[in-house]
Amino acid sequence: MKDERHDPDLDVELLWRPRRGLDLERIVHAAVEVADEDGLEGMSMRKVAERLGFTPMSLYRHVPGRDQLIDLMLDGAMARLPDPPTEGDWRSRLETCLTQGWELTRRHPWLAEARGTRRLPGPNTVARYERMLAILADTSLPPAEVIAALNVVSRFVDAEATALLEAARAERDGGGTDEEWWDARRSLFDQLDAHPTITALWEAGGWDDPVDTFTFGLARLLDGLEARIKTHEQLRDEMRDENCRVCGTPIDQPDSGRRRRYCSRACQQRAYRQGRSDREQ
């Protein structure tokens, strides 16, 4: 049961204060090893203490509890990621960042279980978030859409990571791999003849060489994001044409109807005379 008297500010201090010695780092490293082997649900203060050769009570001198230890594990994992690239266009840089995070989750499936909207972020997590936001902030997206776009692509990665977590959990619990599980139920396939679309796709080889869902899904999301960015670029270019083409004075455009290209009748006549002069030459 949670201690309602616990001060959340102590959790912030634990994550953000400079590390004192190697004791806390050793605890976090041991906790990650336990979670890699037994999943996050199998990671306990007792198991971590046993791995280090200490009593559970000795851990509480460094970490208030399991929740705070998970926060430290998450932030420690973020520290293992390489720095986001600084060269290339926004798409290639963002794709690299997301793929790096995906590869990290493949190595540590428990990360998918540990994430959440109410997980206290540490310095490495916030720094990573800042760098990824900066990639999209350099595009034509307005501020609110920068945040929304990163949330959408990050949640896609989390969804794919959840599938990894479920597969790892089933295998750890003695259920074998997904391929072994389905192979043991091959009689199901005899029941699918009555479904024409499934049958047609099966006979066409749709399941023979499966597409990697992470690569495919991420590319399609980035396609949509790229189209959105191009739309905003076009709008931005149109806004540049809001000034008079003759004198450069800003034009108060009507809410509907044809857009004005000149600020006054005089500028329009000057443009007409200039155009006529150019044609006569």
List pLDDT tens digits, range 29-79.
999 999 998 888 899 999 999 999 888 888 888 888 999 999 999 999 999
- Asked if residue 208 and residue 122 are part of one domain, the reply reads yes
- Asked if residue 94 and residue 62 are part of one domain, the reply reads no
Residue predicted with more confidence, 195 or 276: 195
Residue predicted with more confidence, 252 or 185: 185
CATH code of the domain covering residue 128: 1.10.357.10
What is the span of the domain harbouring residue 65? 10-79
- Asked if residue 163 and residue 141 are part of one domain, the reply reads yes
Output the pLDDT for position 255. 57
Task: Name, in order, each residue with C-beta under 8 angstroms of 162's C-beta and a sequence gap of 6 or more.
Answer: 112
Output the pLDDT for position 21. 45
Q: Note whether residue 184 is domain-resident.
A: no
- The residues that bridge with 250 in the sheet, in sequence order, are 243
Q: Note whether residue 85 is domain-resident.
A: no
Q: Give the pTM.
A: 0.71
Tell me the two tokens of residue 199.
């049958």
- The residues that bridge with 243 in the sheet, in sequence order, are 250
- Asked if residue 71 and residue 99 are part of one domain, the reply reads no
pLDDT digits (tens, 9 = 90+) for 126-157: 999 999 999 999 999 999 999 999 999 999 99
C-alpha neighbours within 13 Å on the C-beta side of residue 149: 27
Residue predicted with more confidence, 242 or 198: 198
Output the pLDDT for position 6. 65
